[in-house]
Structure 1
Amino acid sequence: MINNLKDAQKNRLYKNKLSYGSKPQHYDMIVFSHIRWQFVYQRPQHIMSRMAKKMKILFIEEPLQYDENKDLGNLIIVDEKLHVLQPNVTEIESIAEIIPAYVKNETISFGWFYSAAFCPLMGFIDFDTVIYDCVEELSISKGTSADLLHQEKYLISQADIVFTAGKSLYESKKRFHNNVHCFPNSVDESHFSRALNGIAIPEDIAAVKSPIVGFYGVIDDRIDLQLLHDVAKKMPNISFVMIGPLTETAEANLPKEPNIHYLGMKYYNELPNYLKAFDIAMMPFKINESTHYLNPNKTLEYMAAAKPVISTRVNDVARDYSICVSLIDTADDFCESIKFLLEKRDRLSMEMEYYKILQDTSWNATVDKIDLTIKAFA
Structure 2
Amino acid sequence: MTQPHALRSPYQASSEKPLLVCFSHLRWDFVWQRPQHLLSRATKHYDVLILEEPMFKAGIKPHMDVSTRPQGVTIAVPMLPEGLSQEDIIAEQHDLIEGLIGRESNGSRVFWYYTPMAMAFTSDFECDLCIYDNMDELSLFRGASQQLLDLEGALFSRCDLVFTGGMSLYEAKKNRHRSVHGFPSSIDFNHFSQARSIHQEPEDQAHIPHPRLGFFGVVDERMDIDLLAEVADRRPDWQFIMIGPVVKIDPATLPQRSNIHWLGGKPYNELPHYLSGWDVGFMNFALNEATKFISPTKTPEFLAAGVPVVSTPITDVVKPYGEKGLVEIARDAEEVVAKVETILGRPKEAWLAKVDRHLAQGSWDKTWASMHKLMLDTTGETTADRPAAASLPIYATTPAE
> Is the TM value for this pair above 0.5?
yes
Q: What is the distance in 1 between the residues matched to 2:8 and 2:132?
A: 33
Give runs of aligned pairs for residues 195-214 of structure 1, distance below 5 A: 195-198=195-198, 200-214=200-214
Q: What is the distance in 2 between the residues matched to 1:175 and 1:24?
A: 36
Instruction: Say yes or no: does 1:339 pair with 2:330.
Output: no
Q: What is the distance in 1 between the residues matched to 2:189 and 2:331?
A: 29
Per the normalisation by structure 1, the TM-score is 0.91
Q: What is the distance in 2 between the residues matched to 1:374 and 1:62?
A: 25
In the alignment, structure 2 segments of 5+ residues that lack a partner are 1-6, 380-401
Q: Is the contact between residue 40 and residue 72 of structure 2 (CA under 8 Å) also seen in structure 1?
A: no
Give runs of aligned pairs for residues 8-23 of structure 1, distance below 5 A: none
Q: Is the contact between residue 75 and residue 84 of structure 1 (CA under 8 Å) also seen in structure 2?
A: yes
Amino acid at match of 2:183: F
Q: What is the distance in 2 between the residues matched to 1:195 and 1:68?
A: 47
Paired residue for 2:296? 296
Q: Is the contact between residue 198 and residue 273 of structure 2 (CA under 8 Å) also seen in structure 1?
A: no
Q: Is the contact between residue 57 and residue 83 of structure 1 (CA under 8 Å) also seen in structure 2?
A: yes
Instruction: Check 1:210–1:131 CA distance in 2 against 1; reply closer, same or farther (3 A cut).
Output: same
Per the normalisation by structure 2, the TM-score is 0.86
Paired residue for 2:236? 236
Paired residue for 1:74? 65
Give runs of aligned pairs for residues 319-358 of structure 1, distance below 5 A: 319-322=319-322, 323-343=325-345, 345-358=346-359
Deviation at 1:184, TM superposition (A): 0.8
Instruction: Say yes or no: does 1:262 pair with 2:262.
Output: yes
Q: What is the distance in 1 between the residues matched to 2:92 and 2:47?
A: 23
Q: What is the distance in 2 between the residues matched to 1:32 and 1:98?
A: 13
Deviation at 1:79, TM superposition (A): 4.2
Instruction: Check 1:101–1:360 CA distance in 2 against 1; reply closer, same or farther (3 A cut).
Output: same
1:97 to 77, 87, 95: 95
1:296-338 residue CA offsets vs partner (Å, 9 max, x unmatched): 0000000001111000000000011011111001101111111
Paired residue for 2:154? 154
Q: Is the contact between residue 29 and residue 111 of structure 1 (CA under 8 Å) also seen in structure 2?
A: yes
Deviation at 1:111, TM superposition (A): 0.5
Q: Is the contact between residue 209 and residue 239 of structure 1 (CA under 8 Å) also seen in structure 2?
A: yes
Q: Is the contact between residue 62 and residue 92 of structure 1 (CA under 8 Å) also seen in structure 2?
A: no
Give runs of aligned pairs for residues 36-185 of structure 1, distance below 5 A: 36-67=27-58, 69-70=60-61, 72-79=63-70, 81-89=72-80, 91-103=89-101, 106-107=104-105, 109-185=109-185
In the alignment, structure 1 segments of 5+ residues that lack a partner are 1-19
- Secondary structure at 1:88 match in 2: strand
Q: What is the distance in 2 between the residues matched to 1:228 and 1:81?
A: 39
Deviation at 1:232, TM superposition (A): 0.3
- Secondary structure at 2:352 match in 1: helix
Amino acid at match of 1:190: N
Amino acid at match of 1:257: R
Q: What is the distance in 2 between the residues matched to 1:376 and 1:106?
A: 23
Paired residue for 2:389? none
1:100-159 residue CA offsets vs partner (Å, 9 max, x unmatched): 443369405200000000002333311111100001113322221011110001101111
1:263-302 residue CA offsets vs partner (Å, 9 max, x unmatched): 0010111101111111111100011222110100000000
| Number of matched pairs | 359
Deviation at 1:93, TM superposition (A): 3.6
Paired residue for 2:393? none
2:12 to 10, 25, 29: 25
Question: What is the root-mean-square deviation in Å for CA atoms of aligned residues?
Answer: 1.9
Instruction: Check 1:103–1:306 CA distance in 2 against 1; reply closer, same or farther (3 A cut).
Output: same
1:310-368 residue CA offsets vs partner (Å, 9 max, x unmatched): 0000000001101111100110111111111112x231221122112111111011000
Q: What is the distance in 2 between the residues matched to 1:137 and 1:76?
A: 30
**Identity within the alignment, %:** 36
Q: Is the contact between residue 222 and residue 291 of structure 1 (CA under 8 Å) also seen in structure 2?
A: yes
- Secondary structure at 2:127 match in 1: strand
Amino acid at match of 1:211: P
- Secondary structure at 2:171 match in 1: helix
Q: What is the distance in 1 between the residues matched to 2:227 and 2:77?
A: 38
Q: Is the contact between residue 55 and residue 81 of structure 1 (CA under 8 Å) also seen in structure 2?
A: no
Q: What is the distance in 1 between the residues matched to 2:122 and 2:62?
A: 24
- Secondary structure at 1:181 match in 2: strand
Q: Is the contact between residue 63 and residue 86 of structure 1 (CA under 8 Å) also seen in structure 2?
A: yes
1:156-212 residue CA offsets vs partner (Å, 9 max, x unmatched): 111111000000110111111010011111110000011112353100011211111
1:192-249 residue CA offsets vs partner (Å, 9 max, x unmatched): 0111123531000112111110000001111111110000001011101100000122
Q: What is the distance in 1 between the residues matched to 2:226 and 2:102?
A: 52
Instruction: Check 1:81–1:214 CA distance in 2 against 1; reply closer, same or farther (3 A cut).
Output: closer
